[in-house]
Structure 1
């Protein structure tokens, strides 16, 4: 057998190795996750029960409810990525420069100029009666996300899940979205804090 044919056969049976994240991609997501965690925890820190449960309008969310929505989302979105990773990779969906979408998520999602209705499954249901319990659950979920992004060898850039408003996002972008979503709702909390009638304590 010629060396040329042997080389072709070797290529044919060589498994495709999943591509891990570039360090810059990993660092960007980790920075966003760390920063938004601090924003969330700093914003609810020191608030009284009256302040946490106060609503600017009957159909508005309280800060406690916004925090619960953040925590539920923290638990839910990684499940979408896990499901996507079990499906075949679809590299044909990969953007020419996915980093631009990464940046756009962090720039645009936190903006509150367009209000969206949260799906029923991630709306607050009063699961927490104490902010300390909610903070503990949020920290645990965010720590899992940070550990995963720091250590994973998964081919996140070639597996996708579809967001109803944002379209196809790759696995890493879903984790960046978690950070951007947290920042968006911290901004919502700040709107409540600045509302007329907000309790002084």
Structure 2
């Protein structure tokens, strides 16, 4: 977390992103090269799951950047929590509901866990730096459609990136335990 004074909404999103990223890095550090090709049934391999997350992370950052450009100069006056706005999308047990990812975020299968994790770390750093730079800007004033959840504002896209990561961490743990 940064020492810069951040708007409470931005701080909330960055905290969620940081917490999810730290857990992702912790889990990925335990994956051996032999485990990268492990899969359950006809699902993605461990390496493909991590590659998918890196692709999604990069896309989420681009979307938040586009929203930030739309609302540039518009001051945020609301300091209430933004997390409840995504509570309806939380799935307590992600294995209970399979979500079919759009083709655009399917992994190619050509990246190792380390390569995808490095890509994800780079994208996450860019997203956090962007959020810090627009702290105090009304990211809730514009939206971009998610293929499953519909229109999400800039805060929600940031929070969704963290939730997406946590969802796939459950999947990774399940694959690794099999």
Considering the TM-score relative to the shorter chain, is it more than 0.5? yes
Task: Establish whether residue 34 from structure 1 lines up as the match of residue 18 from structure 2.
Answer: yes
Map 1:23-62; keep pairs closer than 5 Å: 23-57=7-41, 59-62=42-45
- Give 1:164 shift: 2.8
Larger Rg, first or second structure (1 or 2): 1
Question: Bigger CA drift: 173-182 or 158-167?
Answer: 158-167
Question: Bigger CA drift: 185-194 or 107-116?
Answer: 107-116
User: How many residues align structurally?
Assistant: 167
1:134 aligned residue (104, 116, 140): 116
TM superposition score normalised by structure 1: 0.73
- Partners of 1:111 and 1:149 in 2: CA distance: 29
- Give 1:87 shift: 5.0
Task: Establish whether residue 191 from structure 1 lines up as the match of residue 157 from structure 2.
Answer: no
Question: Bigger CA drift: 25-34 or 48-57?
Answer: 48-57
Map 1:75-154; keep pairs closer than 5 Å: 75-87=58-70, 99=82, 101-102=84-85, 104=87, 108-109=90-91, 111-112=93-94, 113-128=96-111, 130-153=112-135, 154=137
Question: Bigger CA drift: 177-186 or 23-32?
Answer: 23-32
Q: Is the 8 A contact 2:86 2:160 kept in 1?
A: no
- Partners of 2:65 and 2:121 in 1: CA distance: 20
Unaligned 5+ residue runs, structure 2?
Answer: 1-5, 73-79
Unaligned 5+ residue runs, structure 1?
Answer: 1-21, 90-96, 196-201
- Partners of 2:152 and 2:19 in 1: CA distance: 21
- Give 1:161 shift: 1.0
Deviations 1:78-99 (A, max 9, x none): 222333445579xxxxxxx773
Change (3 A) 1:64 1:126: same
- Partners of 1:147 and 1:85 in 2: CA distance: 12
Q: Is the 8 A contact 2:140 2:154 kept in 1?
A: yes
Where 1:72 maps in the other structure, the secondary structure is helix
Deviations 1:52-75 (A, max 9, x none): 111122x21111110000000011
Q: Is the 8 A contact 2:38 2:176 kept in 1?
A: no
Q: Is the 8 A contact 1:81 1:171 kept in 2?
A: yes
Change (3 A) 1:124 1:144: same
